[in-house]
A and B are shown apart, each in its own frame.
Chain A
């Protein structure tokens, strides 16, 4: 462990800013995906193992739109919306049948969908990885130098966009009628039904929103990463870690945990470059031991 390197980094504005921005970018992208996962679990009680596959679909849809239109913004929006619609169909046709099923059945169904989608994208888009969607022209500029820290403008855009999405999500969940219904559905769906609320509509809406967020994460990740079948497999593990650390079902917990993981990865690369992955799991283990319900989770859950 290079503790002195970490100390040197923290007292150097260039290193501190560079690592902090890197950590923010990692964390915010992770938040987009993990918030969808935790939302679906919190309201529907479904551990959606296919969430990573939806992230992958977002990347493929975005790549396709980019290829057809050459417009980055459109590719991100349509890519994510496409996954949202796919999520709606997925929920109506399959997920809605297993709300009361055992956990094993839920996992098996979701895992089957992962395998099907992984193969399906190869049939449609080919077996080889696709090039990244690319960074919009406006961001194809030299990086910014702030206190000697090198910061790519595109990373600032990703961080900003994710923050905005986070705020919109917070607004929807806390300030709108839909959000109140969603929270009520998470606590007592039967009571909601008794009050004449269409619970299926709520469930489908939540799953669609969760899928949209996964798709958005995938579409943004595809801007600088290659697009390939199975790409959701690694992000799903990190998303589950975030969900466990933040508290199952808690969006604010997912936000906090994503930031912790992002910073741990970024500053961990300075202090213990050979243990950055391990560090992530270590944090999860510590949280599970000290606060099993997660940082912002509800103990009852």
Chain B
């Protein structure tokens, strides 16, 4: 049979294969290799629904740090690759996303930016797999304080309920003595965090200021649009002070509705979650003199490092960081440092490098403005906790008082012993 072409089929195949190989080697293939070589970090978080801001501010904080790390050459040329996925705030979905990260994506570590319920689910997944996990959102104390829940590969970089409770109670107790705020009420969201935070706060307040009386408690459900029945309860009981751990839009609605009753004229509000930019700026005519812990404000800690962090974040994203942003920024900073220190992604080595580590931080109030991941319970301490009073405009909070970490640690220890966790 006469050849139709001077090149045989074999020649064509050979040439094609060689060309493809050369092309792949010069462009695609190394890229694939490079991607395979990336340090993968899985991030389960909330990117949809009412708390989407959580996941977005966490992602912003991570991208800001990771971009800098990758631009500066990564870890011996290995870049960090973030895989951020939405759990829709559902514990079972968070666990599924986390399992997928571990089994399918083969991530090197997990940064868990889930709320408390889902964080407990993630904790069980990573306990089983032995994957390094950095919690950056959950504030429920038991996650790292309860030895039966704790695990060697989990570290908490978020603030913790017991720390805030001691700090809040210490600040409130001063005002109880100064102003005679004897009758208290509370309003908190009706789920684990709300109940836990309120109880711990009053336990601590009774310690600092014995004789304080709780005259009523309101438990609106999460995302309730109308707080009238709780506000009329407050108006009826006429407490000297109100403790609230409502947060986000719920806190905004409560304050806006309570203003109509002139509630804060006679009762001082201690709202632990108020001093976050998104919350304060959403309240119409933010009243003067409401008390709040500093979740995140550029004014506290009053350092250049903190102001620089706020500026860098705001320049990039056009919005101020949130409480979740600073927690995540510290976590990724620790992880990057551990990667550099060990030169490896071996989880055991990384965990050892994180344990007990003290690092300078824009949110640090330890020696030389540092924070520490405590050795025994692998949780963050010496981060800035301040309490102050609101003013209607930027910087929104004034007269901020720092909370003493020695007192926090002392009372935390006592509380843990009482719980049987120490």
Chain A residues proximal to chain B, CB less than 8 Å: 9, 15, 18-19, 22-23, 25-26, 29, 118-119, 122, 127-132, 134-135, 142-143, 150, 152, 154-155, 221, 224-226, 228-231, 233-235, 265-266, 268-270, 273-274, 276-277
Contact B230 A152 (CB under 8 A): no
Residues of B within 8 A of A277 (CB): 190, 221
CA distance A150 to B238 in the complex (A): 12
Contact A25 B228 (CB under 8 A): yes
Range for the number of chain B residues in contact with chain A: 35 or more
Sample of 18 more A-B contacts, CB < 8 Å, known A19-B236, A22-B228, A268-B229: A18-B235, A122-B52, A127-B53, A129-B248, A130-B282, A131-B284, A132-B252, A134-B284, A135-B260, A142-B262, A143-B260, A150-B261, A152-B260, A224-B253, A229-B50, A265-B228, A269-B218, A269-B233
B232 lies within 8 A of chain A by Cβ: yes
B226 lies within 8 A of chain A by Cβ: yes
Residues of A within 8 A of B211 (CB): none
Residues of A within 8 A of B226 (CB): 26, 29, 221, 225
- Rounded to whole Å, the gap between the CB of A164 and the closest CB of chain B is 20
A-B pair number, CB within 8 angstroms:
121
- Rounded to whole Å, the gap between the CB of A3 and the closest CB of chain B is 16
Given contacts A224-B260, A226-B252, contact A131 B50 (CB under 8 A): no
Interface of A, secondary structure class, is helix
Contacting A at CB under 8 A, from B187-233, are: 190, 216-219, 221, 223-226, 228-233
CA distance A16 to B114 in the complex (A): 44
Residues of B within 8 A of A19 (CB): 232, 236
CA distance A132 to B253 in the complex (A): 8
Contact A234 B223 (CB under 8 A): yes
B369 lies within 8 A of chain A by Cβ: no
Contact A118 B261 (CB under 8 A): no
- B52, B56, B217, B225: the one contacting A225 at CB < 8 Å is B225
CA distance A234 to B225 in the complex (A): 8
Contact A150 B284 (CB under 8 A): no
Chain B 14-26 near chain A by CB (<8 Å), digits 1 or 0: 0000000000000
Residues of B within 8 A of A135 (CB): 260, 284
Which of B232, B256, B257 has the most chain A CB atoms inside 10 A of its CB?
B232
- B216, B235, B282: the one contacting A129 at CB < 8 Å is B282
Residues of A within 8 A of B253 (CB): 132, 224-226
